């Protein structure tokens, strides 16, 4: 009789486990994707005519939010000849922060036709400062910021040919 009761208990546990698995899988598959549904809220007005035509504004400053602090860095990237703005120059930054610099953040942004770009959400307390690297083709430039001293930094970076 004891072995029959033990077998029945195992069978009951297996049935309960099967029911829980089926309930969880049904719940997971019953979720619907709401991103494809049209929004029913009020429509937001377009701020410029270029947004309504679908063509992006080439003079709008690209902004990338790091989301780890209140500081920002504004860039104007120019060429070495006559300080003309450089379009589509890449601005990279690697930020190591947190306890023992365990957290790391890599950001990359391209400039607009005016050679401008902006990083926001940069940390205000960091041990070693922030080093920015700009490049376009075979030309490079660098900038350094200590956010403890200049939280809202503005840089003009002149790109020069790389030296071998």
Residue 118 has pLDDT above 60, yes or no: yes
Instruction: Report d(CA 66, CA 124) in Å as an integer.
Output: 12
Strand partners, 107: 93
Q: What is the pTM assigned to this prediction? A: 0.65
Q: Where are the domains of the chain?
A: 58-161
pLDDT for the residue 5: 52
In the chain, pLDDT over 70 holds for what percent of residues? 78
Distance CA 155, CA 142 (A): 10
Q: What is the mean pLDDT of residues 40-55?
A: 52
What residues are paired with 158 via a beta bridge? Answer: 78
What confidence score (pLDDT) does residue 157 get?
Answer: 94
Token pair belonging to 6: 């033990």
Q: Give 50 or 162, the one with higher predicted confidence.
A: 162
Average pLDDT of the chain?
A: 82
CATH no., domain 58-161:
2.60.40.1120
Q: What single string gives the DSSP state of each residue in 95-150?
A: EEESGGG-EEEEEEEE--TTSEEEEEEE-S--SS-EEEEEEETTEEEEEEE-TTT-
Tokens of 150: 């200049």
């Amino acid at each position: 009789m004891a072995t029959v009761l033990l077998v029945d208990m195992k069978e009951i546990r297996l049935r309960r486990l099967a029911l829980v698995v089926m309930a969880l899988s049904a719940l997971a598959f019953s979720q619907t994707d709401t991103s494809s549904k049209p929004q029913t809220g009020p429509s937001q007005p377009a701020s410029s005519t270029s947004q309504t035509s679908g063509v992006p504004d080439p003079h709008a400053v690209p902004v990338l939010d790091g989301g780890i602090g209140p500081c920002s860095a504004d860039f104007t990237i120019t060429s070495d000849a006559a300080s003309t703005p450089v379009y589509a120059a890449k601005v990279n930054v690697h930020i190591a922060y947190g306890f023992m610099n365990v957290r790391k953040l890599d950001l990359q942004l391209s400039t607009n036709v005016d050679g401008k770009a902006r990083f926001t959400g940069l940390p205000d307390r960091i041990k070693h400062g922030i080093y920015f690297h700009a490049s376009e083709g075979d030309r490079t430039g660098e900038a350094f910021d200590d956010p403890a001293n200049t939280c809202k930094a503005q840089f003009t970076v002149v790109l020069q040919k790389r030296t071998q």
